[in-house]
RNA sequence: GUGGGCGUAGCUCAAUUUGGUUAGAGCACAAGAUUGUGGAUCUUGGGGUUGCGGGUUCAAUUCCCGUCGCCCACCCCA
């Protein structure tokens, strides 16, 4: 697990702010839930057969001997909260988003830490028509955040009826080929036959290739409608019939967005429809869709595609440079800083009094765009010097005009 | 859970092969040259339980054993 240090927190705040603006503008409300939940919640929602549950959770007994788990994802927590607080009795449907840390006890590698962060959204109690909204929201946010190149992959897991039919046909087929499958797949055959398609083991591939794919085809009418709508809105996609996703609650349309510059872990977002989760947790039938975006992976991809993307962070940083230890000067500068703070500028300064050249050096060091300079001469004239460090220009601004100057 | 690689200053690394004086360098940091115009340069300075524990030895950063941690990949996922 990693510390996020002051030197890099600016990027985090920048992306978080963009996420809040974008999701709120699309009518989504933020929800925050506890990091700790009863283990049972994740076992019932994500599924016993998923890798997440059977080998990747941070679980322990608390002091009351209860089985607790640090959340490995957010969808189950949101569902729990919606059911527990009866949110659907106050509204017919919900559109929620979240930002926060998740925990999975995997072996770390590039793009995969044991604590990681997700930005995600859930559309609760809306039918398949909302699949488009979920995908458009995810796609739109990635663009808004500044990601230029990424690929949307889609698949259709089918409705319950067709899934049941497929499951029977596949179980029948793979049972006959059982001896050719790897150990994991033999286990999947018993527990969740669809996930055999996720297998990357070399020996399983010929068996998977010959599976009765025709049971999946053709894609449903719903899926084709969705695809047409995406095209209409200029969102390109590829269809990947092998995309299954490792959480058991998915059905219907599932999707994954991949981006370059991420190493082996190249999925930056993933999600899909889950119509049965609320029933599995003891609620009423509640059709849903949702997705989540890997925060760290998004940061990595953004920087890989445009190394200067976070430079604009500098443009809203102001360094304060009092030239003398003088209460009047300190007050004038502080008042100006207060006004700029309200305009969203970040204020930097150094404790103590320094010469002008020392101040300017320090201003460079903190990557400030502007310096506010005042000494005895300025005080006498009733002005501050506002220096643009990038353009190497400066002007004298009257005390009460500083805020207006930065408009 | 599997495989490979790596642990020496805040960071990147040297010295380890063949054990031997006080473990070095660059970057970064701090002070000064520089009392009103910045990124350079120069000078000076602070920084180390060589991951940790044990063993061998007159002597261990170096050899041996153990252990912990990190990185990359598999797997899986965001």
pLDDT 10s digits, A389-404: 888 888 999 998 988 9
pLDDT band at A216 (very low <50, low <70, confident <90, very high): low
Assigned CATH for A314-405: 3.40.50.800
Question: What is the pTM assigned to this prediction?
Answer: 0.86
Q: Is pLDDT larger for residue A144 or for residue A265?
A: A144
Residues A238, A62: Cα–Cα separation, whole Å: 45
Structural tokens at position A217: 């085809």
Residue A18, judged by CB atoms within 10 A of its CB (0-12, 13-18, 19+), counts as: middle
Averaged confidence pLDDT in chain A: 89
Q: Return the closest nucleotide (C1') to the Cα of A111.
A: B78
The segment(s) of chain A belonging to CATH 3.40.50.800 are: 314-405
Q: Is pLDDT larger for residue A354 or for residue A379?
A: A379
Is any atom of nucleic acid chain B found less than 7 Å from the CB of residue A292? yes
CA of A115 to C1' of B63 (A): 39
Collect all residues with Cβ–Cβ distance below 8 Å to A43 and sequence separation of at least 6. A53
Q: Return the closest nucleotide (C1') to the Cα of A298.
A: B78
**A215 pLDDT higher than 70:** no
Q: Return the closest nucleotide (C1') to the Cα of A264.
A: B73
Q: Return the closest nucleotide (C1') to the Cα of A363.
A: B38
Q: Return the closest nucleotide (C1') to the Cα of A350.
A: B30
In strand B, the nucleotides that come within 7 Å of a protein beta carbon are 1-3, 29-30, 32, 34-39, 70-78
- A131 sits in which H/E element: helix A130-145
Over residues A146-171, the pLDDT tens digits come to 999 999 999 998 877 777 777 888 88
Q: Is pLDDT larger for residue A390 or for residue A302?
A: A302
Over residues A231-266, the pLDDT tens digits come to 999 999 999 887 878 788 888 899 999 998 887 888
Residues A253, A260: Cα–Cα separation, whole Å: 24
The segment(s) of chain A belonging to CATH 3.30.930.10 are: 6-159+220-305
Assigned CATH for A6-159+220-305: 3.30.930.10
Is any atom of nucleic acid chain B found less than 7 Å from the CB of residue A242? no
**A103 pLDDT higher than 80:** yes
Segment A177-205 shows an average pLDDT of 76
**Can you list the positions of beta strands (E) in A160-278?**
238-239, 253-259, 267-273
User: Model ipTM?
Assistant: 0.83
Is any atom of nucleic acid chain B found less than 7 Å from the CB of residue A265? yes
CA of A16 to C1' of B12 (A): 31
Is any atom of nucleic acid chain B found less than 7 Å from the CB of residue A51? yes
Instruction: For the beta carbon of residue A290, count every other beta carbon within 10 angstroms.
Output: 27
* pLDDT over 90 percentage in chain A: 49
């Amino acid at each position: 697990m990693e510390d996020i240090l002051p030197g890099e927190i600016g990027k985090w705040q920048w992306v978080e702010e963009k996420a809040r603006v974008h999701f709120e503008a699309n009518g989504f409300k933020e929800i925050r839930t506890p990091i700790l939940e009863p283990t049972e919640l994740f076992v019932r929602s994500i599924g016993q057969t998923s890798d997440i549950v059977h080998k990747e959770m941070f679980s322990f007994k608390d002091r009351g001997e209860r089985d607790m788990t640090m959340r490995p994802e957010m969808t189950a927590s949101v569902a729990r909260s919606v059911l527990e607080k009866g949110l659907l009795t106050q509204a017919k449907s919900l559109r929620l988003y979240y930002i926060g840390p998740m925990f999975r006890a995997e072996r770390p590698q590039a793009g995969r830490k044991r604590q990681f962060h997700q930005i995600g959204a859930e559309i609760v109690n809306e039918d398949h028509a909302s699949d488009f909204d979920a995908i458009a929201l995810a796609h739109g946010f990635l663009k808004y955040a500044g990601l230029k190149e990424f690929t949307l992959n889609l698949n259709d897991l089918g409705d319950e009826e067709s899934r049941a039919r497929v499951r029977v046909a596949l179980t029948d087929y793979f049972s006959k080929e059982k001896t050719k499958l790897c150990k994991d797949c033999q286990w999947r055959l018993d527990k969740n036959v669809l996930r055999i398609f996720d297998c990357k083991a070399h020996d399983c591939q010929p068996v998977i290739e010959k599976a009765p794919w025709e049971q999946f085809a053709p894609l449903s009418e719903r899926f084709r409608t969705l695809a047409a709508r995406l095209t209409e809105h200029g969102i390109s996609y590829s269809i990947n019939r092998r995309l299954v996703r490792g959480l058991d609650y998915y059905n219907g349309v599932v999707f994954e967005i991949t981006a370059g510059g991420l190493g082996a872990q190249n999925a930056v977002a993933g999600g899909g429809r889950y119509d049965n989760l609320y029933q599995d947790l003891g609620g009423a039938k509640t059709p849903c869709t949702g997705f989540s975006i890997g925060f760290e992976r998004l940061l990595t991809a953004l920087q890989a595609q445009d190394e200067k993307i976070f430079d604009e962070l500098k443009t809203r940083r102001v360094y304060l440079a009092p030239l003398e230890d003088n209460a009047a000067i300190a007050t004038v500068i502080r008042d100006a800083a207060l006004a700029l703070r309200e305009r969203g500028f970040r204020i930097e300064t150094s404790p103590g009094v320094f010469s002008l050249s020392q101040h300017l050096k320090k201003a460079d060091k903190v990557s400030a765009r502007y310096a506010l300079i005042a000494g005895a001469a300025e005080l006498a004239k009733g002005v501050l010097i506002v220096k643009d460090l990038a353009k190497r220009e400066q002007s004298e601004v009257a005390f009460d005009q500083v805020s207006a100057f930065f408009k």
